[in-house]
Amino acid sequence: MSRNSRKFHIGLYGQNPVTHHSLATWMHPQNMPRGYRYNRASVWQYVGQLCERAKFDFMFSADTEGVFEEYRGSIDGAVRYATQVPSYDETILLSFVGAVTDKIGIVSTLSTNGSKPYITARKFATLDHMTGGRAGWNVVTAFHKNQALNLGMDEQFEHDERYDRADEYMDVCYQLWESWDEDAVVMDVEGQMFADPSKVHHIDHAGKYFKCRGPLNVDRCPQGRPLIVQAGQSTRGMQFAARHAELVFAIQPFREGMKKYYSKLKNLMGEEAGRDPDSCKVIFSFQPIVGETERVAQEKAEFHNAMVPVEGGMAYLSGHLGYDLSEFGSDASLEGLKVPGIQGLIDMYLETSEGRAKTLGDVARMHATSVGSPQVVGTPEQIADWMEETMAEVGGDGFMLSPIYVPGAIEDFIDLVMPVLRDRGCVRTEYDGETLRENLLAF
């Protein structure tokens, strides 16, 4: 086995509170035991503290501002199978986690469609202050119709325009975060001056999509700006990442796809964006199922996978693709299908699947099981081997742990796999710095 000598980063993936990537999560008998409830802060606070003790880099939450209604032209499939619904306001949910932790990063998703740049810049500056420099923003451009309808639009903006608009959105946010100089707050009691007015500036932005006067009414936050996180699979999406992202969250079911994605992104970063490719970390989602023996792990996986509703996968994937898949039978092929939503998902399943996910039925099952995150089943050593080999072969910077139930699957990983990774020197044993950015860029 080829071993990776580099350390890698680990984050925890959370979606809405009842299904993360697996649509079986809320039905699993081990989900939310011991009186925990998905709609109370206590379980997420416990999980945050757990991950902090294990020295994870961050806890991450995806988000969306709507309920998918592509499948059979209705919200029924999404509601029934809990495909990203309910989905709480993740910035609020994660604030509860930030309040009971000291070191772990808090990465929340917010779309550039959901609110104006000023509101977003203010929200994340506040989160960064309140957590002492641990805030990250997963910038998404919003892709599904119900979200647009909820926000007073008839349709989403066209794909590339979403990213053009998001480029300007980021520009406004950057200006707002910099509208207070670093030394603006003086708290001079004698002179009765809290902040020096000469060091707080209007931005007077007037662009194609946004107008904003500034300054932000939040003083400069500890990291200067939150850590910018992004996930997009099209070339335009990856160009956006190459320009702005400090952390990219990628899903690829197979190493071949991970390799392609990773090298394409790093090339775009160096050649088009003129950035040091090492200034952005790339982490891949995975769904570990660990057992004390291989047999135990296999049984756990079989039990979980048998509960996954394939029709839910159709509803989920229809939402992500922005296309009603109910018109196809489960034997249909997705080859050549062009969709308005996340086209990259089709390519991701078909291009690298080597015959493993050729029919719609295969793809729907994979989507309902893990949204394409590789399911890695085995003993702690086998899972650690897979992680090391993946990093060595692909060249990424770490993993996002997608649990099959909460908090048990996270506890299992932390109790069983993390000690092996620590013994091998693959993960940190202490936080390197105070802020999310310091910790992420430390190796």
Ligand X SMILES: Cc1cc2nc3c(=O)[nH]c(=O)nc-3n(C[C@H](O)[C@H](O)[C@H](O)COP(=O)(O)O)c2cc1C
The Cβ of residue 203 has, within 10 Å, a number of other Cβ atoms equal to: 18
Q: Report yes or no: 90 and 62 within 8 Å, Cβ to Cβ.
A: yes
Contact pick of 4, 112, 120, 141 for ligand X (by CB under 6 A)? 141
Q: Decide: is 143 part of the binding site for ligand X (CB under 6 A).
A: yes
**Smallest distance from ligand X to CB 63, Å:** 5
309 makes contact with ligand X (CB under 6 A): no
Query: In terms of residues, how long is the chain?
Result: 443
Tokens 């335009």 -> residue: 236
Stretch that binds ligand X, among 182-190, 197-205, 229-237, 273-281 (CB under 6 A): 229-237
Footprint (CB under 6 A) of ligand X, residues 415-434: none
Nearest to 426 by CA among 394, 377, 393, 385: 385
Residue 129 and residue 136: Cα distance in Å, rounded?
12
For ligand X, which residue has the nearest CB?
237
**Closer residue to ligand X, CB minimum distance, 126 or 234:** 234
Tokens of 100: 């009971």
List residues bridging with 378 in a β-sheet. 290
Measured from the CB atom, is 203 or 248 closer to ligand X? 248
| Closest listed residue to residue 261, CA positions, set 397, 133, 366, 138 | 397
| DSSP-based three-state secondary structure for 390 | helix
Q: Which of 96, 95, 41, 88 is nearest to 65 (CA)?
A: 88
Residue 142 within binding range of ligand X, rule CB under 6 A = yes
**Shortest separation between residue 138's beta carbon and ligand X, angstroms:** 6
Segment near ligand X (CB under 6 A), from 179-187, 214-222, 245-253, 360-368? 245-253
Measure the CA–CA gap between 48 and 144, rounded to whole angstroms.
30
Q: How far apart are CA 276 and CA 245, in angstroms?
A: 12
Please provide the DSSP assignment of 41-59 as one string.
HHHHHHHHHHHHHTT-SEE
Establish if 253 lies at the interface with ligand X (CB under 6 A): no
Under rule CB under 6 A, residue 146 binds ligand X: no
Site string for ligand X, 41-80 (x = CB under 6 A): ---------------------xxx----------------
d(CA 180, CA 349): 46
Print the binding letters for residues 90-119 with ligand X: x by CB under 6 A, - otherwise.
-------------------x-x--------
Could you tell me which stretch among 246-254, 267-275, 325-333, 387-395 binds ligand X (CB under 6 A)?
246-254
Position 231 contacts ligand X (CB under 6 A): yes
251 binds ligand X per the rule CB under 6 A: yes
Give min distance, CB of 10 to ligand X, in A: 16
Identified binder of ligand X from the candidate list 115, 126, 234, 326, rule CB under 6 A? 234
Total chain residues near ligand X (CB under 6 A): 21
3-class secondary-structure state, position 196? coil
Q: Which stretch binds ligand X (CB under 6 A): 52-60, 74-82, 231-239, 376-384?
A: 231-239
Q: Which residues from 341-400 bind ligand X, rule CB under 6 A? A: 342-344
Q: Is 322 in the site for ligand X (CB under 6 A)?
A: no
Is residue 237 at the binding interface for ligand X, with CB under 6 A as the rule?
A: yes
Is residue 184 involved in binding ligand X (CB under 6 A)?
no
**Interacting residues with ligand X between 324 and 343 (CB under 6 A):** 342-343
For the chain, helix, strand, coil in percent to 5 are: 45, 15, 40
Q: How far apart are CA 410 and CA 380, in angstroms?
A: 13
- Closest CB 137 distance from ligand X, rounded Å: 12
Phi/psi region, residue 155 (left: phi>0; alpha: psi -120 to 50; beta: rest), is: beta
- Provide the CB-side half-sphere exposure for 4 (13 A, CA): 22
In eight-state DSSP terms, residue 221 is P
For ligand X, the binding residues (CB under 6 A) are 62-64, 109, 111, 140-143, 231-234, 236-237, 249-251, 342-344
